[in-house]
Structure 1
Amino acid sequence: MDRERLARLSIFAAVAKAGGFRAAARGLRLSPSAVSHAVAELEAALGVRLFNRSTRSLALTDAGCALLDRVGPALGEIDAAVADARDSDAAPAGPVRITLTPLSAHALFAPHLAAFVAAYPGITLDLVIDDRFVDTVAEGYDLGVRLGETLRPDMIATRIGGALRMAAVASPGYLARHGRPRTLEDLPSHRCLHRRLGAGVYRWEVTRDGADLILDALPQTLIVNDDALLRRAVCDGAGIAFVIESVIADDLAAGRLVELFPEHCPPFPGFFIYHASRRQMRPAVRATIDFFVAANRVDGG
């Protein structure tokens, strides 16, 4: 590829990201006319319109969106390679953007944030809490932390933290009023409390006789997307919940909750820190992975 086309593609991507020619020009330290001219030359060379322009707005066309999806990651790789070469002898520095679930953020990251900041003052951690699965490349994240079962096979993943267990639990008061279910088949006749996960509802997955079993036909008495709210509801006797054991460990120990069917809820691997397959990784991203994996291994991971 000739250097002029690469420069025009870079300017095109900057305009798309900034949402306008003037904003992109400020970031690139070019004149707005130079930015507009470069995009027009790229459109002429490709024979397609990349932006729909009006006096008040600028939006990518379908062709522009398709081009940005293809060249955006490549331009990012070029920027990362240049940054790596420039900073190869320096301490890890720069932003590291991570998408985490609420539980992984509080259990795996929160206890170690002060130590990380002290160890790597040049790194800016940008932590975003979100239950849904996130495409780290498409949404501009360096790393993600999710349960291993939710990861796409093309992600590079490293286990972080220890094994987890799900637990079906209810309060003693609820069981006194409604009776204790004796078998899994009894659950549909009970009030069941559910955890929303992204756009869906987390399915109750158990094992029986060595085989995985999904309990689909359960009443949806309550659906929430917050662990603390679900914990409060089940402790107050609203119904039976299916939660990660560590979230309600103190309540089990204190007798505020009773576990049902522990024989059907074996441990599973838990959380992984993941990223897209890349030939090179910025030192700041590598340092972040190594630090939090090691910190949680000391804690029993």
Structure 2
Amino acid sequence: MKQNFTVRQGALDGVEAFLSVAAHRSFRKAAAELGVTPSAISQAVRALEARVGAALFIRTTRSVGLSEAGERFLARAKPAFEELVAASDVARDLGQRPAGLLRLTVPRAVVPILLEPLIASFCQAYPEVEVEIAASKELVDVAAGGFDAGIRMGQFIAADMIALRLSPPFPFVVVGSPDYLHRRGKPERIDDLRQHACLRMRRSDGSIAPWSFVSGNKQVEAIVAGPLIAHDYPTMLEAATDHMGLAQVPGPITAELVKAGRLVRVLDAFAPTVPGMFLYYPSRHQIMPKLRAFIDHIKSGAAAGGKSKGPGANKRASATKTG
């Protein structure tokens, strides 16, 4: 059976005073060490003894010694109190300078085109920060997931998040390989997609996303069909490159493949534009120095045309990726 218990309010009151008196065997010396009056030390110890229910010291006019209860209390309380002090020091240190583990949740597609150069320069600039990248297509609750921040397309970020732009708006484009388009022909209109193999995306809620377009001033959704349903854009892009069909994906991730001639953009006249990629995090008041440094690094990189530097830019650092 689970035992219910609570920590009594003020349970740690007087422990520091007790430890100081025990170390010096003197209320006066303990008071001098802690910067309070001997009377305050005496009152704190008496209150602690009252809560414990036993005398912790044997006092005479000439000396102060520990009772048996005091000896046992000291044996358990001293290491525990030292651990609390050490824990406070560690937390305080992370709150004062960029250090520790910076955890980011990001879509897998943005890692090579957006994050890799940024992370490399950030790790060189801030060698005491380790970066963990958790690649996921889900829109993650950063607080519940233990992340410092996330990266997603702007239209998917909750209104209560702080958002920092990472990219300009970009189009969602339809691409196919030259081989596929030679066999099946280029679609000229949205309705032509009915005659094509269209690679589709399954959303996190289980539904299959329609393809979105703009026709004049109207938003148009097309229900398409094809041989593959993927769970992320890189998989769709790879399938399109392997001649399986057409894919509708974020424009920036197709740029190198289009430039190399491995993919061809079609239906550009109907391509919708999305707000772009953003870094998002819960509150300006909760930002740790490691995240503040990352945000400043992004901003300085944007101001310098992508060439960002910080203190210790030539020192080594490590980054890990998961997912």
TM norm structure 2: 0.61
1:157 to 129, 153, 163: 163
Structure 2: gaps spanning 5 or more residues: 1-5, 13-87, 308-323
- Asked if structure 1 preserves the Cα contact closer than 8 Å seen for 2:177 and 2:264, the reply is yes
- Tell me how far 1:114 sits from its aligned partner: 2.7
- Asked if structure 2 preserves the Cα contact closer than 8 Å seen for 1:91 and 1:122, the reply is no
Alignment length (residue pairs): 226
Provide the rounded CA distance (Å) in 1 between the counterparts of 2:150 and 2:98: 19
What secondary structure, in the 3-state scheme, does the structure 2 residue paired with 1:102 have? coil
1:239 to 245, 249, 260: 245
Post-superposition Cα deviations, 1:71-100, rounded to whole Å, max 9, x if no partner, equal xxxxxxxxxx99776566x53212221111
Provide the rounded CA distance (Å) in 2 between the counterparts of 1:145 and 1:6: 42
Letter in 2 for 1:206: F
Q: Per the alignment, do residues 257 and 288 of structure 1 end up closer, same or farther by CA in structure 2, a change over 3 Å counting?
A: same
Provide the rounded CA distance (Å) in 1 between the counterparts of 2:184 and 2:293: 52
Aligned position for 1:103: 109
- Asked if structure 2 preserves the Cα contact closer than 8 Å seen for 1:108 and 1:296, the reply is no
Letter in 2 for 1:234: A
Post-superposition Cα deviations, 1:195-225, rounded to whole Å, max 9, x if no partner, equal 344344444222111222222x211421123
1:204 to 202, 211, 216: 211
- Tell me how far 1:188 sits from its aligned partner: 2.2
Structure 1: gaps spanning 5 or more residues: 9-80
What secondary structure, in the 3-state scheme, does the structure 2 residue paired with 1:98 have? strand
Aligned position for 1:214: 221
Provide the rounded CA distance (Å) in 2 between the counterparts of 1:6 and 1:260: 69
Aligned position for 2:278: 272
1:250 to 245, 253, 256: 256
1:94 to 82, 96, 100: 100
Letter in 1 for 2:188: R
Aligned position for 2:44: none
Letter in 2 for 1:142: D
Q: Per the alignment, do residues 7 and 113 of structure 1 end up closer, same or farther by CA in structure 2, a change over 3 Å counting?
A: farther
Provide the rounded CA distance (Å) in 1 between the counterparts of 2:262 and 2:114: 25
2:135 to 120, 129, 151: 129
- Select the structure that is richer in helix: 1
Letter in 2 for 1:212: Q
Post-superposition Cα deviations, 1:225-279, rounded to whole Å, max 9, x if no partner, equal 3444322321232111111222222332333322211111144321110011353
Q: Per the alignment, do residues 114 and 208 of structure 1 end up closer, same or farther by CA in structure 2, a change over 3 Å counting?
A: same
Q: Per the alignment, do residues 232 and 96 of structure 1 end up closer, same or farther by CA in structure 2, a change over 3 Å counting?
A: closer
4+ aligned runs moved over 3 Å, structure 1: 2-8, 81-88, 195-203, 226-229
Letter in 1 for 2:109: L
Provide the rounded CA distance (Å) in 2 between the counterparts of 1:247 and 1:296: 19
TM norm structure 1: 0.65
